[in-house]
Each structure stands twice: as C-alpha cells, then as structure tokens.
Amino acid sequence: MKKSLLIVTASAAVLAACGADESNNNATGGSEAGDEDVFEVAVIPSQSIGEMEEGLNLLEEHLAETLEEDIEVTHYPSYNAVVEAINFGHVDLAYFGPVTYLIAFEQSGAEAILTQTIDGDPYYYSYIITQPDAPWDDLDELLADVDDIQFAFGSQSSTSGFAIPAYELLQQGVYESESTYEFESVQFTGSHDITADAVANGSVDAGAIDSAIFQALINDGLIDEDDYKIIWESQQLYQYPWAVPDGTSDERISDIQEAFMAVDDERILQIFGGADAFVEASPDEYEVVLEAARAFDLLEPEEEDEENDNGADEAENE
C-alpha cells in the first residue's frame, strides 16, 4: 500500500481549544457550575459570538418563559469544554456536533434528545464529488483507478468530511489510516470550502464534503454547481444533537423537548445551521456515526476542536 500523506493547512482561522482550567472558568458563564437554581445550557461555537449573541439571548428568554425557571445559555470557548461540562454535570443541556456528542455519550452516557430540521429534514449527507468531465460516474468507477486518484478529506474530526466517507473507503479496502491507503495521495484540507475549491481547480481528483455546506456554498455564489459531479452519497446523517446528562428524568426530557419544539423565532433558529424547527431525537439516530468514529478512534477528546459540519468549519473548523 502507498504510505504518503499531503496535509494541506486550512487558511481560515481555527478556534483553538482552551486549556482545561480556562475552559471550566469560561464555561460557567459567571454562575457556579451545577447550580441547582439555574438551568444551564452549553452551546458550541458554531458561529462567531457576535453572530450568535442575539439568538442565544432570545433562546434564553424563551426557555425561561416556557420552563418557568432561571436559564443561562452560554456560548462555550471550545468543543472539549462542552464535553467536560456535560460529563461532570456542570450543565443541564448541551448542543454540539455528532462526533463531539458521541465522545460525551461514550464517556458519560449523555443522551441526545433533540435536533433541528433544515428545509424540513432533520438530516444531511456526506458527498464525494469530482469534476463534471471526470470519467467516473460513481464510486466504484473512481476506485477502479484508485492508484491514480488524489483524494481530499476535510477535517479529521469532521463527521461528513472525514469519518463517514473514510468508513466507506475502509470497507472498500482502499483507506485504512492517514498513512496507509491505496490512493496516489490523500489530503486533509481542514474545511469543506477548501475541499470544494481543490476539486474544482483540479488540485485533487475527488473529495468528501458535507451536503448542506455544499448547497450553501452554491446558494451563496461561492462555488458554481456546474463545476462538480456527485458520485457518492452516504446514508442519512442526523443534524447536530442537543443532549442531556445521563440520569436526566423522562419528565425533564419531555419538558425540554416541548420547550424547544415551541420555538418559532427565526432569529433563534437561524443560528443553528439555518434551522426551521426543533424536533425530537435519540441516541439511535447517531449509531452510524458512532460506528465510523470508533473505527478511526475519534472518540477521545483532542487538543483541536471538532469541526462544525454545518457552517463553522467554513470559518475554519470542526
């Protein structure tokens, strides 16, 4: 097998994970961690703090009114800080990416209870894309020429940019690790938009990308749909989950779900990947990601943050 790797460093800014002490201090948002008189919600940095501030304040007000208790919604400094907070019961609810959630699920039994719909669907896909005039119309045809293929993933902590497509390629027997594969070369671009550019300009022959981000890049005029051909689509991947600590009562879960499903303010919804509603979810929806994450040992917290598949890594992510 070939054992070479070209790593392309993303030029966009990366949200660096904070040290444990700094994360814990910032994550409490000024209130004592685990304060039983305050319902504490942790949210990952899916956009800049300024972009999220209004929506988070409105969410805080909505939850305070519907749950009839004091609420504190905190924009956490890093993905690992959110995992630590829910693992140790410092927060009552947390919002994070699928792989990050599954780290908490594995370590402490955190339970997914909500997600969001975008354009009416609670899921998205991983795509493998190539140029429109490429000689391959599906993945099998691409892999028939695997020795000559330059392939691009996004971030190594991305669900749709790495874990899911890499798991498919592992099952196909052409990718095992970042140093062992059958391709001519493998690049990690660090973000979905850079992967799209690399495919379009021919720097690579094919690449993995998040379907929602791919469509958003097209809609925003940042890439031209005519420059691409989709040759593989994963099974459905559920959107980012909201999770509660292990041991949260069924009654409490039901109250939280009802409160979120009553949200109809677009200023709240739009900061969560351009959502149009919140809907119920469960750990079962993330089994396919769990299987892939385990295959590549992704369920241990790292110094770098997980990419936000649905937008944050364009500023990049996750």
The answer to whether residue 258 scores a pLDDT higher than 80 is yes
The answer to whether residue 3 scores a pLDDT higher than 60 is no
Residues listed for the chain: 318
How confident is the model at residue 33, as a pLDDT? Answer: 42
The answer to whether residue 4 scores a pLDDT higher than 60 is no
- Which has more pLDDT, 234 or 51? 234
**Residues 119-165: tens digit of each pLDDT:** 899 999 999 999 999 999 999 999 999 999 999 999 887 899 999 99
Structure tokens at 174: 């052409």
Q: How confident is the model at residue 230 (pLDDT cuts 50, 70, 90)?
A: very high
How confident is the model at residue 304, as a pLDDT? Answer: 45
Instruction: Report whether CATH 2.60.120.10 matches the domain 123-233.
Output: no
The answer to whether residue 178 scores a pLDDT higher than 70 is yes
How confident is the model at residue 254, as a pLDDT? Answer: 98
Instruction: Tell the burial category of 25 from Cβ atoms under 10 Å away from its Cβ (0-12, 13-18, 19+).
Output: middle
Options 3.40.50.1580, 3.40.190.10, 3.40.50.12780, 3.30.365.10; CATH for 20-119+240-315 is 3.40.190.10
Mean pLDDT of the 1-14 span: 36
Structure tokens at 148: 């000559």
Report how far residue 57's alpha carbon sits from residue 62's, in angstroms, rounded to the nearest whole number.
Answer: 9
* 85 neighbors 94 (Cβ within 8 angstroms): yes
**Residues 66-114: tens digit of each pLDDT:** 999 999 999 888 888 899 999 999 999 999 889 889 999 999 999 999 9
The single-letter DSSP state of residue 240 is P
* 280 neighbors 113 (Cβ within 8 angstroms): yes
**Residues 28-67: tens digit of each pLDDT:** 333 334 456 899 999 986 666 677 889 999 999 999 999 9
* Longest distance between any two alpha carbons in the chain, whole Å: 62
| Strands 242-244, 111-117: pairing kind | antiparallel
How confident is the model at residue 9, as a pLDDT? Answer: 32
Q: Where are the domains of the chain?
A: 20-119+240-315, 123-233
How confident is the model at residue 318, as a pLDDT? Answer: 40
The answer to whether residue 24 scores a pLDDT higher than 90 is no
User: In percent, how much of the chain has pLDDT > 70?
Assistant: 81
Equal fold, 20-119+240-315 vs 123-233: yes
Mean pLDDT of the 213-221 span: 91
- Which has more pLDDT, 33 or 282? 282
Q: How many CB atoms lie within 10 A of CB 233?
A: 12
* 242 neighbors 113 (Cβ within 8 angstroms): yes
Mean pLDDT value across the chain: 85
The answer to whether residue 17 scores a pLDDT higher than 70 is no
Structure tokens at 173: 């027997």
Strand, coil or helix: 44: coil
Mean pLDDT of the 192-204 span: 96
* 222 neighbors 193 (Cβ within 8 angstroms): yes
